[in-house]
Amino acid sequence: MTQAHLESPAPDVSTSQAEQLASSWFGVRGTARTAASERDLNFLLDAPDQPAVLKISNPLVEESLISLQVAALDRLAGGPVPVPRVIPTVDGKPWKPLELADGRRAWVWMISRLPGVDAEKIQPKPRSLLIGTAVAAAGLAQRLASFDHPAARRELIWDLDQAHRLRPLLGELEDRRAADRVRRVLDQHDARVAPRLPDLRRQVIHADLNPANVLADPQSHQLTGIIDFGDLVHTALINDLAIALAYPLLETDSAEPAAIMTRAYHQALGLTPLEQELLPLRVMTRWATTVTISLWRATRHPDNRDYIMLHAQPALEALARMEKPSVFAELCEACRPTKRRGQSKGTE
């Protein structure tokens, strides 16, 4: 996904048109309502027998990226982490092209709806949900370890390994203090992380384990599924955990959520010493990415501002806290599950 993808408006399709597409193309009849999305158009279908999500891609999304998502969901089907099931068209195709009224073309496909509410609605995050999210991240990684697809090796501005793509946007941000704060994070990335990227484990990952893409039971808070695979990319494995950590840390000044999740992930999959060392900087890079893209897009898509800016201000405040050495040191400690509590740095 490039800067052009961020600027491209979502398709203009009404709920009645979505209901007609769902019925005639997929054989699913129900009432449609729009769901929040960054750049695509999603409809929740309240069908009595088969609740589903009708997905209409942004016209700039290539067909290969739909193929990537379908292939990944097929690989994950039946695994330890619940994910949506692809619902084929009535003629057995996983997706179909749709000519829009403005002359652009989008891709239409459908997936099943999983139970639960998005974890954004559960605050603060209970320990069970933090552990469940970390274990799910490890489970996805294990299932996708041998998975690959040509479209996964792509330009993606949200990919933490491609943080250099944020720099051209900084000059366009109206908030100069925010731009300067992000620039300092990118300088750290260039100096301390980028030279060591080749030494990190790499594979296709989900790359967007934010709370809106984590579903949980509203009563028990047990994880019920992972959704939205639109940012799948071949990158550093540790980035999935870093992204998952970034959001619970926005809800508290404590690093304890990072400690809980890192330990759970390490027990499930294991973290190398280098991954543990770079994890805090990866978390900060996610915050910097969120701030940059959100501030940049909000001025261009005011109608979707609330969704776009959901995490931007908390992320900016988190970056400010990390400029205090003691706060950053606390995060570093929390991201070291192989370092016993109370053990001095010199005796590791």
Residues 181, 187, 189, 192: is their CA dihedral positive or negative? Answer: negative
Domain of residue 191, residue span: 118-347
Q: What are the two backbone dihedrals, phi and then psi, of residue 216, each rounded to the nearest 5 degrees?
A: -145, 155
Q: How many domains does the chain have?
A: 2
DSSP symbol at 52: E
* CATH code where residue 188 lies: 3.90.1200.10
The least confident of 7-16, 139-148, 159-168, 337-346 is: 337-346
Same domain, 52 and 137: no
Percent of the chain with pLDDT over 90: 85
Residues 324, 182, single domain; the answer is yes
- Looking at the fold, whether 138 and 88 belong to one and the same domain comes out as no
Judge if 63 and 154 occupy the same domain.
no
- Same domain (yes/no): 195, 223: yes
Span 253-295, pLDDT tens digits: 999 999 999 999 999 999 999 999 999 999 999 999 999 999 9
Say if residue 340's pLDDT is above 50: no
* Mean predicted confidence (pLDDT) in 109-121: 96
Same domain flag for 276 and 298: yes
Q: Domain check: are 103 and 141 in the same one?
A: no
Same domain, 16 and 92: yes
Is 223 in contact with 216 (CB distance < 8 Å)? Answer: yes
**In this model, does residue 74 exceed pLDDT 60?**
yes
| Cα–Cα nearest to 160, from 228, 237, 45 | 237
Shared domain check, 93 and 162: no
Q: Which helix (H) or strand (E) holds 278?
A: helix 273-298
- Segment 213-232 shows an average pLDDT of 97
Q: Which of 63, 85, 113 is the last residue of a domain?
A: 113
What's the pLDDT at 344?
36
Q: Which amino acid is at 325?
A: P
User: Rounded distance, CA 198 to CA 204, Å?
Assistant: 15
pLDDT the model gives residue 197: 98
Q: Which of 89, 113, 137 is the last residue of a domain?
A: 113
